Structure 1
Amino acid sequence: MGIKSFMGRRAKPTKGSSENITVSDYMSTNLITFKENQSVLEVMDTLIKKKISGAPVVNDKYELVGIISEGDCMKQISESRYHNHPMENLSVQNHMIKNVDTIDGNMNVFDAANKFLESKHRRFPIVKDGKLVGLISQKDVLKAALDLKGQTWK
């Protein structure tokens, strides 16, 4: 006896169905970004004022070079205090995450949800032709799910 699939034949996705909703539909494009030469103190101030937990770091060509988060800043606070060093001279380039995971803007937003669960990331940058074009957060995926409430999941 072989394995049987109970999925059945799938209908063609209809406009507005969960199959057609991509990361690009829900990503933020009006982004707060940082430069490598900015100070960590400046980053901390911006994170607090803008009520965000992290942001991409870009170069002058708007290419993604890293990401810096509250956690990265917390680490520097702890190390500066432990070594009794002032934080004024700390720059983003030495304290950001340089190996950044990105996702494709054409990915289905619910496939992106799986990427969040697998990676434990809070946000993913979206890059197109080498340039930063957007950012999707876990909250954006939740918004997509609410927009589809009442529909059957496909």
Structure 2
Amino acid sequence: MGIKSFQGRRAEPEKVASAPICVSDFMSTDLVTFKKDQTVFEVMEGLLKHNISGGCVVDDDQNLLGVISEGDCMKHISDSRYYNMPMDDNLVEKRMTCNAVTIDADMNVLDAAKKFIEHRFRRFPIVKEGKLVGQLSQSDVLRAALDLKGQSWQF
């Protein structure tokens, strides 16, 4: 007599009801910021000290004025050498990127990932009513993806 195998009726896969995973859940809020009247040299020191590749430029009321990156500093170094100018006399306001592209804190973090691909930025400032409230980096999105591992990507 052979052994019979019996498989019972399989349960339907459980659907995970998940709330939208917002940028605000993963953004950094303890930010290194710069002022427009600082020198590029001071920014370079700050970037190296904090091991970051760029930061937001704000006024005294935390209004976002722009962003400055390692690339902006590299351009200053290159221009200074080419034009034989002192490196420490150039202000952030001359080198920063004005009209920075921002994203909303309520945006789905996976939609933010698409923005990173479209714009090829390393970070996006998060602004609420003109004030800088946070920053989302590519590594923040990667962290979010790991947290979502095993869940449906549909939100």
- Common topology (TM > 0.5): yes
Q: Deviations over 1:65-104 (max 9, x none)?
A: 0100000000000000001111111110111000200000
1:1-150 → structure 2 map (5 Å cutoff): 14=17, 17=18, 20-150=20-150
> Which runs of 5 or more structure 1 residues have no equivalent in the other structure?
1-11
Distance 2:57 2:66 in 1: 5
SS of the equivalent of 1:20 reads coil
Larger radius of gyration: 2
Alpha-carbon contact 1:63-1:132 (below 8 Å) kept: yes
> Which runs of 5 or more structure 2 residues have no equivalent in the other structure?
1-14
Q: TM-score, normalised by structure 1?
A: 0.88
Instruction: Report runs of 4+ in structure 1 exceeding 4 Å deviation.
Output: none
Identity of aligned residues (%): 61
SS of the equivalent of 1:110 reads helix
Distance 1:60 1:69 in 2: 20
Q: TM-score, normalised by structure 2?
A: 0.87
Alpha-carbon contact 1:62-1:132 (below 8 Å) kept: yes
Residue type of the alignment partner of 2:67 = I
Deviation at 1:13, TM superposition (A): 7.3
Pairs aligned (count): 141
Residue type of the alignment partner of 1:91 = L
Distance 1:131 1:152 in 2: 34
SS of the equivalent of 1:115 reads helix
Distance 1:153 1:58 in 2: 35
